[in-house]
Structure 1
Amino acid sequence: MSDFIWEPTPDYVDNANVTRLMRRHGIDDFRALVRKSCDDIEWFWSAAIEDLGIEFSTPYERLLDDSDGPQWPKWFTGGTINLTYNCVDRHALSNLSDSTALVWEGEDGDVQSLTYAELARDVNRVANGLLAAGIAKGDTVGVFMPMMLEAVVALYAIAKIGAIYLPIFSGFGPPAISARLNDSKAKALITADGFYRRGSKVDMKSVADAALEDSPSVESVFVCARFGDDITLNDRDRWWDDAFGTESDALDAPHLDPETPFMIAYTSGTTGRPKGSVHVHGGFLVKIAAEVAYQLDVKPRDVLYWVTDMGWIMGPLEMIGGHAGGATVFMYEGAPNYPEVDRLWSMVAAHR
């Protein structure tokens, strides 16, 4: 076997998140932690929740109820939680309020950012706008957007009100989009006029319009302007700024059952009909927060960047995992090797 490319220094190990967890419980060996986590899952997940500071608005009475069989587990029974509160609101109310939550770089080099306080403000405006548009708990909202700050705002706004977030890959054509909208019975779609890739404009609105011709459940469409070009909107469409810009920036996070659906993530469809996987507020938040904290060792104010699209599972994963831990998440709009092959590494150097 070849040598490892990188090995942690003793100081790195001593200050790792997983070391903190072990130290809190008197565990000296990582393998012993792994064994204990498998032998006593109720201990492990309760310990992780406490260590990571995840907040339940109502404490759960039982961590896991598998009385209906292992295929139908119920997690955190008797408790209530809100994913957006844990990823956004609680940091906006803490000493991380002015810490950067998101950094975005466009392919043209433009850079924008949001602090946790600004992210909370924008999330509340969009959440209030969705409520005003008739979107309620349990309704599905499709999000067909490029890598832009508003795509993350939309994710958290949808989740905050108990609606269901439906991520759709920004490169899909109309049939793939309508298949997901129809299968999930989406009530609304949030999209953009387009984005830049390899120096060219990629139109999204016309693709969305074509998909919506075969998506009868969609009643409302919200369009975010990346280009700001003069495009035609129909009676169903509203510009993002018009729909959300004047809404209140205050909204208390509702207390949700941990099994409340948060997201429907579809398989790619390359080997058959796309299949929707339902993820919930409690399980997705706790599992992904633990993965990013203990496997990636991401800490508050660290910068996390994953080369992905918000339409794939890794987009929501990096956002929720990073933000649950108070980190800064970096997003990039275009091709990672444009205009030069070192574009990705130049961004890493600039935003590390």
Structure 2
Amino acid sequence: MTATERTTEPTAQAEPTAQTEPRTEAERVAFWERQASRLDWAKPWHTAHAFERPQRIGTREDGAPDFTVPRIEWFAGGTLNAAHNCLDRHVEAGFGDKPALLFEGEPGDRRTLTYADLQEEVSRAANALVSLGVEAGDRVVIYLPVIPETVIVTLACARIGAVHSLVFGGFSADALQFRVEDTGAKVLVTSDGQFRRGRAVPVKDAADQAVSGDNDIEHVLVIRRTGDDIAWTDGRDAWWHEALAAASPDHEPQQFDAEHPLFIIYTSGTTGRPKGLVHTTGGYLTQTAYTHALLFDLVDGELDAANDPQKVADAVHWCTADLAWVTAHTYEIYGPLLNGVTQVIYEGTPQVPHAGRHFEIIERYGVTTYYTAPTLVRSHMGAFGSRPAAGERPADRWDLSSVRLVGTVGESVNPEAWSWLRREVGAGTAPVIDTWWQSETGSCVMSPRPHDACWDAETTPDAPKPGCATRALPGLSAAVVDADGSPAPTDEQGLLVVDGIGPSAARTVWNEPQRFLDSYWAHFGERGWFLSGDGARRDAEGDITVLGRVDDVINISGHRLSTIEIESALVSHPWVVEAGAAPTTDPLTGHAVLSFVVLSQEAPGVSGDDLRDTLRAHVSHRIGPIAKPAHIIAVPEVPKTRSGKIMRRLLTQLFEHTTLGDTTSLTNAHAVDDIARIVGHPAAEPPTACPADHLTA
């Protein structure tokens, strides 16, 4: 293996051949070339893949080795348009009347957009952006809830080559301001408000505050969602509906190089300042289209199989993620539209006006694939019970028979939540795809495959294992290694690396290439391995279980314990629906286990002593005495990012009364205030009237 890997002179229309799993680097590149033929290319690429690994060039002042920054390219020289691949080609193929988006707002308003409708709206929006001076390469920040306009403006950016950056509509003005300034955006798209927890929540004020400083914003495009009165800046602000009404419905999509930036997405900020990861067009769309088809059962099991037309026609896909999360970019915007399926998007919170709102939506639209976060699954468990009684199960109250596949994404799913999702939503027979991937990888890296083996765990020894991401998908490779890069011993925690990256991998950190190197490539980059930052273990069968962030490890007297394992043990008790475990300083053992728990409806009136003693004994039984929490504190919620990741460092900081780190990426910042009041942290704030929701993935 050389420092620079390059494959040239491919054809964009490579013929599929009978394939086993690609093993060598050449086979892997050839595999992704075949998957690239799922897309429409205006011009074939001249270089299938080029990867310049980091090379050591000296030593830094602090004594650490210094490396060159990696360069990654896929399908360079080939040109295409993302919006054309999502819309125009389906309309041209005669599917213009097929529903693309089935939208439901939290108040109950509904809207259906066909592929032809969406194509026209995206074309109008593209023309509107051009009229505001937006050109290819300019950045557009999108600060919106889950509404059709969010998808429309995202694809409009892609259509004209503008780089989009979506920001969760529940983020604070400070979080939005950082992203506006860091991207150097020319246009901000926002709304007057959004519906959340049964009420209209203002949004425009936060947008105004975010663009009040030193930035490059020239226009703020405002979507009327709630109809509430808002502040207005003449000359800068413009109404979305007026801009689109004045725009032509005809727009010829421009063609861009495969390496043209498509979007910037910011990491959750669980450690340090959020990083703006840059994803490019051709490689991202290739891996997104293939993995969406593979994972959500649009093919019949062959590695290179084309999508089954009947499966595509029957599919009603629902990814519950907020559109600003990378999961939504890949499996709610681009993936489903690239594959021409119908999908549901829902604006609001999952328990308004009742705890079964998601199941009501599944029944109404005949959802076939339901992809959500472990956090949301545990909220269902809290509302309906870990073992609902007869007549109280979701399937007893709503028709969930359309569901043929369920999946999880975000943090590692607890085995109890995995089993509940399959049993209560998937009727005990639906495959569960427990997917592992990151903002950095762009699309899925590891998951069970829905067409593999038998899914009857009671009769089949090799059935998928609850809470286990199993193995890498075709064309990809992952390994569990120690700090020196040697394979970690069986069943022992090691570092999870991607030793065979895919085309959808991030290319750099926006304006910070050195940070891209330091964060992901400095440790194993010379070998061509991407360091994920997650810990994992591989079992005797070769299957991988992800154990959470490497820094989410509690070291007790030399014993390294995964926070995920401790949390899973706590959640397996019927009193606990959610748990966050973190280390706290202990003078004798180094670390002690600190646990914050959200109690289920099955734990009314439990005293603090009973709670502590019962859960300590339960964890001791499930893991061992070394893992017993020293502190167990009941709280209303644990702080999480929008992807459902628990910010465990905040738990330690709150408990130890130290300075709190960055909280701008939290989706439920009010949880920090609630816990601060409970533990007496000086940062405690008065309760808020309407906290942002945290249950949507």
**TM-score, normalised on structure 2?**
0.45
Aligned to 2:175: 176
Alignment of 1:64-103 (within 5 A): 64-66=49-51, 68-69=52-53, 71-103=70-102
Checking the alignment, whether the CA contact within 8 Å between 2:351 and 2:357 is kept in structure 1 is yes
**CA 1:127–1:215 in structure 2 vs 1: closer, same or farther (change >3 Å)?**
farther
Flag as ranges the 4+ runs of structure 1 deviating above 3 A: 35-39
Aligned to 1:332: 346
1:283 is matched with which residue?
Answer: 283
Contact preservation (8 Å) 1:304, 1:327: yes
Is 1:139 aligned to residue 141 of structure 2? Answer: no
Q: Deviations over 1:127-164 (max 9, x none)?
A: 00100110001100000000000000000001110000
- Report Cα offsets for 1:101-141 as digits up to 9, x if no partner: 11110111111011011101000101001001100011000
Q: Which residue of 1 is the match for residue 230 of structure 2? A: 231
Q: Kindly indicate whether the alpha-carbon contact (under 8 Å) linking 1:159 and 1:262 is maintained by their aligned counterparts in 2.
A: yes
**CA separation in 2, counterparts of 1:37 and 1:293?**
24
Match of residue 7 from structure 1: none
Segments of 5+ residues of structure 2 without an aligned counterpart are 1-14, 55-69, 299-310, 367-697
Rg (Cα) greater in structure: 2
Q: 2:18 aligns with which of 17, 26, 30?
A: 26
* Letter matched to residue 160 of structure 2: I
Q: Number of aligned residue pairs: give it.
A: 322
1:207 Cα offset (Å): 1.0
SS of match in other structure, 2:95: coil
Q: Work out which structure has the larger RCO, using CA pairs closer than 8 Å and 6 or more positions apart in sequence.
A: 1
What SS is found at the alignment partner of 1:95? helix
Equivalent residue runs for 1:50-199 within 5 Å:
50=37, 52=38, 54-66=39-51, 68-69=52-53, 71-199=70-198
Q: 1:49 aligns with which of 36, 43, 63?
A: 36
Q: Secondary structure at the match of 2:294?
A: helix
Q: Contact between 1:37 and 1:44, CA under 8 Å: does it hold in 2?
A: no
Which of the residues 291, 315, 320 maps onto 2:334?
320
**C-alpha distance in 1, partners of 2:16/2:43?**
24
Once the two structures are superposed, the pairs formed by residues 208-219 of structure 1 within 5 Å of their partners are: 208-219=207-218
Instruction: Find the residue that maps to 2:335 and give its secondary structure.
Output: helix
SS of the aligned residue for 2:312 comes to coil
Please state how far the C-alpha of 1:232 moved relative to its aligned partner.
2.9
CA distance in 1, matches of 2:230, 2:24: 55
Measure, in 2, the Cα distance between the counterparts of 1:221 and 1:313. Answer: 24
Post-superposition CA distance 1:20-68 (Å, at most 9, x none): xxx95324xxxx32x4486612221122223x3x1111111221123x3
Quote how far apart the aligned CAs of 1:94 are. Answer: 1.6
CA separation of 1:211 and 1:222: change in aligned 2, threshold 3 A: same
Pair 1:257-2:241 in alignment: no
SS in 2 for 1:41: helix
| Separation in structure 2 between the aligned mates of residue 42 and residue 266 of structure 1, nearest angstrom | 28
Contact 1:91–1:97 under 8 Å retained in 2: yes
Point out where structure 1 has 5 or more consecutive residues left out of the alignment.
1-22
**Aligned-pair CA distance for 1:282:** 0.8
Residue identity (%): 36
Q: CA RMSD in A?
A: 1.7
Q: Which has the higher helix share?
A: 1
Which residue in 2 is equivalent to 1:17?
A: none
Change (3 A) 1:227 1:215: farther
Cα distance in 2 between the residues matched to 1:341 and 1:38: 49
Equivalent residue number for residue 312 of structure 2: 300
